[in-house]
Amino acid sequence: MFSSSGKSFDIQPWKLDTRFHTDGERVIHIIPNTIEVWKVHEVIGEGGYGVVSRQICIQGPSEGESRAVKRIPNTPELRRDIVREIEALATFSSKYPEYFVRFLGWYEEMAQREPSLHIVMEYAPYGDLNKCLQNRPCRESEATRITTQVARALKYMHDMDFIHRDLKLENILVFHPGPDWHVKLTDFGLTKTMQDSATQSFRGTLIYMAPEAKASQGYTNKSDIWSLGAVVYEIVTGQRLFDWADDSRVWLGLAFNEFYRALTQRQPKDRPTIDEVLQHEWLHLPSLSTYHVASSTSSSPGYSVASETSTTPETPTASETTIRPDREEPGIPNSQLQLAPGNIVRVESRAEDVVALELNLRVFFRHKE
């Protein structure tokens, strides 16, 4: 068997001895001294190259357990992508199972009309990150946890000269929801090695694609860095990177601004390496709290936060928190400050003291005419 790196990679040791029930919904695996019967429960995802289903074991040692199975047409055109995905899954999930979805094997279906290959993986009970967040902004303390895990997965790939090439919310699977997120990277069908000349091809998801990839100038590991910046921006703001329609409603701290802007520099040479990403100060802030500005406004002196509101996916926020300035904003007297209703304010906290680090109140206040 060939591999994406040009070296021989044999996928046969991972093949599952499989039979198919005549009903088309049950799969039978022959394992030592017994069998396992798995049944398709539901379709959980569809893409340009295949369909992902949830299967449940109805007989055998794994009875009651779930798994995810990706069905891909087994055509000569897709065979290289299939082998590449199996190679990446086998390589990274075996070494770093906490950061990559576990690979459980593969099997073939030799149907006359459409032969297909099925890639078997562990099932993510909470779906992907896009499903969990649903375009809602995530607390920065939670966003840094997610970002660190994804960045570490990319580091392991880049250290072995692999490029993911399709990093997006849908390819980040959730195994534990917020606030204590545990996520894993998946979908390696477009993965390439740095030595592979095919990295010049135009593949991936456009809204997360680096400028050089859109311009068909090829992919490098810095292309993954740009995609990571786009993903993190969407996690924190609930918006796509270049969708500025409601951007004025979200305050982005200077540390985060510096982080995502560094990752999304237009020139690949100006972006940080994955090691530099992991060392950035934004990923190491002690903690972050999120507040909403109340619908009412106030011009009273003194800075106070009436209450903290959570922005975890399970608890949508309400705009009931009142924030009052405790200091003069340069050029704007306190008596003329006005809060912008509905704004999100992220305030960093150290120990028991809430301190507004790098907080630019001018984002939220307006001159009274």
Q: Which domain holds residue 64?
A: 12-122
The pLDDT of residue 79: 84
For residue 347, being part of any structural domain is answered with no
For residue 331, being part of any structural domain is answered with no
* Residue 151: exposure state from Cβ atoms within 10 A (0-12, 13-18, ≥19): buried
**Cα-Cα end-to-end distance for the chain:** 73
The last residue of a domain, from among 236, 260, 284: 284
Q: How many domains does the chain have?
A: 2
Task: Kindly state whether residues 212 and 257 are assigned to the same domain.
Answer: yes
For residue 70, being part of any structural domain is answered with yes
Task: Kindly state whether residues 113 and 139 are assigned to the same domain.
Answer: no
Residue 10: other Cβ atoms inside 10 A: 12
Task: Kindly state whether residues 140 and 225 are assigned to the same domain.
Answer: yes
The pLDDT of residue 224: 95
- Strand-strand pairing, 162-163 and 192-193: antiparallel
For residue 271, being part of any structural domain is answered with yes
The pLDDT of residue 142: 96
For residue 368, being part of any structural domain is answered with no
The pLDDT of residue 217: 79
The last residue of a domain, from among 269, 284, 299: 284
Rounded to 5 degrees, what are φ and ψ at 265?
A: -60, 140
The last residue of a domain, from among 122, 157, 182: 122
Task: Kindly state whether residues 243 and 178 are assigned to the same domain.
Answer: yes
Task: Kindly state whether residues 157 and 278 are assigned to the same domain.
Answer: yes
For residue 302, being part of any structural domain is answered with no
| Cis-peptide into 179, omega within 30 deg | yes
Task: Kindly state whether residues 133 and 280 are assigned to the same domain.
Answer: yes
Task: Kindly state whether residues 23 and 58 are assigned to the same domain.
Answer: yes
For residue 99, being part of any structural domain is answered with yes
**CATH label of the domain that carries residue 231:** 1.10.510.10
The pLDDT of residue 287: 59
For residue 333, being part of any structural domain is answered with no
Residue 183: other Cβ atoms inside 10 A: 25
**CATH label of the domain that carries residue 22:** 3.30.200.20
Does the pTM exceed 0.85? no
Task: Kindly state whether residues 146 and 114 are assigned to the same domain.
Answer: no
CA–CA separation, 176 vs 129, rounded Å?
11
Note whether 339 and 294 are within 8 A (CB).
yes
The pLDDT of residue 189: 61
Task: Kindly state whether residues 178 and 277 are assigned to the same domain.
Answer: yes
| Cis-peptide into 73, omega within 30 deg | no
The pLDDT of residue 48: 64
Cα-Cα-Cα-Cα dihedral of 103, 95, 85, 10, to 10°? -90
Task: Kindly state whether residues 186 and 249 are assigned to the same domain.
Answer: yes
pLDDT tens digits for the chain (369 residues)? 434 444 567 899 999 999 998 887 899 999 989 999 999 999 998 876 789 999 999 999 999 999 999 999 988 888 888 888 898 899 999 999 999 999 999 999 987 567 899 999 999 999 999 999 998 999 999 999 999 999 999 999 999 988 998 899 999 999 999 999 999 999 876 555 544 534 444 455 778 888 888 887 778 899 999 999 999 999 999 998 875 545 554 567 889 999 999 999 999 999 999 999 999 999 998 754 443 333 333 333 333 333 333 333 444 333 333 333 333 334 434 333 344 444 444 444 433 233 333 333 333 333 333
Alpha-carbon Rg for the chain, nearest whole angstrom, is 24
- Using left for φ > 0, alpha for ψ between -120 and 50, and beta otherwise, residue 15 falls in beta
